[in-house]
């Protein structure tokens, strides 16, 4: 970066720092298009608020998932199943930009490496804070773990409710979509898969 600056011809002005294109003016246009008055008091700040909200809800695009996991890889001789369940998931469906939300359950069986437990919810977040479909979100989480930890297998199950279905009356209230991705031992060995599924079915294990 610094070298490139020095190599510039003298007298040439540095390129302006690029900031992301503004969302707010488009939100204002949407408000007008649905028949609202963007200038009424309650809506005056709304375009800026929506701008900030969308940047927050899609900040996963800025996350380097591989670096996140690699920063907390440890060599161990543990080869039992590691399960992190009931991870809160908040995402936006890419078809309607409406939320879907629920819980993710993530498991893997280490070969020689484990990842710090706190990284798993952060991994889920990194992919959930993007425009998503639930199926792809599930697969991306599983593949990221498979590619970085190289475990014996990975299982990911997500249970979520989609406001685009519920609010529009496409589905009955409280209907939950369940997706799963099973890799390695979780795919090939029914006993492993069953163990995972029974672990995530147990509610709270008496802890809460």
Say how many residues touch Zn ion, by CB under 5 A: 4
Count of other CB atoms within 10 angstroms of residue 181 = 22
86: left (phi over 0), alpha (psi -120 to 50) or beta: left
Active site residue 94: yes
The rounded distance, in Å, linking the Cα atoms of 55 and 23 is 9
Residue numbers 96-115 binding Zn ion by CB under 5 A: 96
User: Active-site residue 62, yes or no?
Assistant: no
Instruction: Tell me whether residue 10 or residue 169 sits nearer to Zn ion (CB atom).
Output: 169
The one among 8, 59, 66, 95 contacting Zn ion by CB under 5 A:
95
Identify whether 26 is a catalytic site residue. no
64 Cα distance to chain centroid: 12
Our CB check for Zn ion shows the closer of 53 and 76 to be: 53
Asked about 105 being catalytic, the answer comes back as no
Residue 93 interacts with Zn ion (CB under 5 A): yes or no: yes
Q: Which residue is nearest to Zn ion (CB)?
A: 164
Q: How far apart are CA 124 and CA 129, in angstroms?
A: 9
CB of 176 to Zn ion, least distance (A): 15
> Between vectors from CA 155 to CA 75 and to CA 190, what angle results, nearest 5°?
110
Residue 131 as a binder of Zn ion (CB under 5 A): the answer is no
Q: Name residue, tokens 């952060």.
A: 122
Question: Which of these is catalytic: 45, 94, 135, 194?
Answer: 94
Is 134 among the catalytic positions?
Answer: yes
162 carries an active-site annotation: yes
Distance, in Å, from the CA atom of 119 to the CA atom of 128, rounded to the nearest integer, reads 14
Binding mask 132-171 for Zn ion (x = CB under 5 A): --------------------------------x-------
For 177, half-sphere exposure in the C-beta direction (CA atoms, 13 angstrom radius) is 19
Residues with catalytic function: 93-96, 134, 162, 164
Which spans of this chain sit near Zn ion (rule: CB under 5 A)?
93, 95-96, 164
């Amino acid at each position: 970066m610094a070298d490139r600056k020095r190599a510039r011809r003298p007298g040439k002005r540095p390129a302006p720092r690029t900031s992301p294109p503004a969302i707010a003016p488009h939100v204002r246009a949407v408000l007008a298009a649905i028949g609202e008055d963007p200038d009424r008091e309650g809506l005056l700040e709304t375009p800026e608020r929506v701008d900030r909200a969308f940047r927050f809800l899609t900040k996963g695009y800025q996350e380097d998932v591989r670096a996140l996991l690699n920063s907390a890889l440890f060599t161990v001789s543990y080869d039992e199943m590691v399960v992190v369940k009931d991870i809160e998931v908040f995402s936006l469906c890419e078809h309607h930009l409406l939320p879907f939300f629920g819980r993710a359950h993530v498991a893997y069986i280490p070969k020689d490496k484990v990842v710090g437990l706190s990284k798993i919810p952060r991994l889920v977040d990194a992919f959930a804070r993007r425009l998503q479909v639930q199926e792809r979100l599930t697969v991306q989480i599983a593949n990221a773990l498979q590619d970085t930890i190289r475990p014996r297998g990975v299982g990911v199950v997500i249970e979520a409710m989609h406001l685009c279905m519920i609010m529009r009356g496409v589905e009955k209230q409280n209907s939950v979509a369940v997706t799963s991705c099973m890799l390695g031992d979780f795919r090939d060995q029914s006993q492993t898969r069953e163990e995972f599924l029974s672990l995530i079915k147990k509610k709270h294990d008496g802890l809460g």
